[in-house]
Amino acid sequence: MGSVPPAHLPSDFLWGFGTASYQIEGAVDEDGRGPSIWDTFCTKPGKIADGSNGDVACDSYHRIHEDIALLKTCGAMVYRFSISWSRVIPLGGRNDPVNEQGLQYYVKLVDGLLAAGVTPVVTLFHWDLPDELDKRYGGLLNKEEFVADYANYGRVIFNVLSPKVKHWITFNEPWCSSVLGYNVGQFAPGRTSDRSKNPEGDGATEPWIVGHNLLIAHGTVVKIFREEYKPVHGGEIGITLNGDWAEPWDPKNPADVEACDRKIEFAISWFADPIYFGHYPESMVKQLGDRLPKWTDKEVALVKGSNDFYGMNHYCANYIKAKTGEPELTDVAGNLEILLQNKAGEWIGPETQSPWLRPSAIGFRKLLKWLSDRYDRPKIYVTENGTSVKGESDRPLDQLLKDDFRVKYFEDYIGAMADSYTYDNVNVRAYLAWSLMDNFEWAEGYETRFGVTFVDYENGQKRYPKASATAMPNIFAKYIQKA
């Protein structure tokens, strides 16, 4: 019998950190940038936990060199960032003017990264739709207009950056845009059936329309990239989907066991199945019926096969308990309860600052295998993974920088990923930790920190690398094989 090889990652494995434009850039009304739906959403009372916004955030618009130096300090090979559509086309539309100053910010950033030996990974859309498009025609709800405007925006960016950038992501977490933006009302534009939260919205129908439109827009821009830019400059393009692992609340109850797959299908396969198979998951068709948009032959041809890699955002795991009876009209989860404790009262993982996030590294490994098995072993890039730390913001700086909980999270999760590559035949090729620095955490404001770098918002956005920043190169050195 041969000995079992130690867990490892391939010699060409890429790792680094990620951020998003509205979370770090600030400078929301400088150099011609127009407002996004998040600028508008933040002005509504009660929407953001601490009443804050992204007006200044980490001031990254003025700190390109500082951020790149930080990446070098952390040993990063790769940096994933997103482009603010309304910085580049302030009004957003295909007939609206392009803002050259806004475009040049990203040119400078990419040039600076390449000069420092850091590979850029560019996300075209990380939730911050130009506000004018939402006002003009309902934004993501309008398939024809949105797809055409997004296609134009993609071309504007590809024209300037595709000679330099080789890794592209069309959309970040379309589930969040669809469900949190159009069902729960927790994210911009805040539409929901709950009239105590918003005067407009239909959570029973709109999330499914938005999800479909995002898939069509994704397929459209991938086609443009593959036909017009890839033949000249090379490169690859995909979409990033989010989803957490699911364990049965009662492993002896077949309904709970079955509900676990349904939970992942409603979160991930909603978008991945059309891309890999050309249709929605059967569990969704069964529950949603005519509320789920129908695929035309043309749309199937556009979307099926439109991923050069699978972008995976992942944080934690949940226990899943099947519900009995008919699903509610506004249900988006698959007629089930999402819990943090199982029938025996065991927690899925330790507490963090984020009520939804409890770490489970074994859940990460299981989900990697689940995705690999379902989608015929695609190349997987982990485009986000990380954790907040309970009470981190309340600690003095010297203690806060010793984020041992986060270091252990990364050790456990990266170890689980190496296990999946070595023992489960999962083709995972890149890992981007969330996040390079503390930033504006959407509805959680600045109360929650996910960064490997502390940002002192009170004193000029100064950056202080935490223990997790310096730990990363050592963790990866342990696993990545020598070429």
- Residue 453's beta-bridge partner residues? 465
Q: Please pick, among 132, 206, 384, 441, the residue that the annotation labels catalytic.
A: 384
Q: Strand (E) positions, 394-476?
A: 428-434, 453-456, 462-465
Active-site hit among 25, 132, 145, 173: 173
How far is the C-alpha of 60 from the C-alpha of 208, rounded, in Å? 34
Count CA atoms closer than 13 A to 129's CA, side-chain side.
30
| Secondary structure (3-state) at 238 | strand
Strands 428-434 and 336-339: unpaired
- The answer for residues whose C-beta is within 8 angstroms of residue 396's C-beta and 6 or more apart is none
CB 365 within 8 A of CB 412: no
Residue pair 119/63 in contact by the 8 Å Cβ criterion: no
**Using CA atoms, how far apart are residues 389 and 405, in angstroms rounded to an integer?**
7
DSSP per position, 87-122: HHSTT-STTSPP-HHHHHHHHHHHHHHHHTT-EEEE
Q: Are 233 and 168 in contact (CB under 8 A)?
A: no
Element counts in the chain: helices (H) and strands (E): 19, 13
Please confirm, yes or no, whether 384 is among the known catalytic residues: yes
Residues with catalytic roles: 173, 384
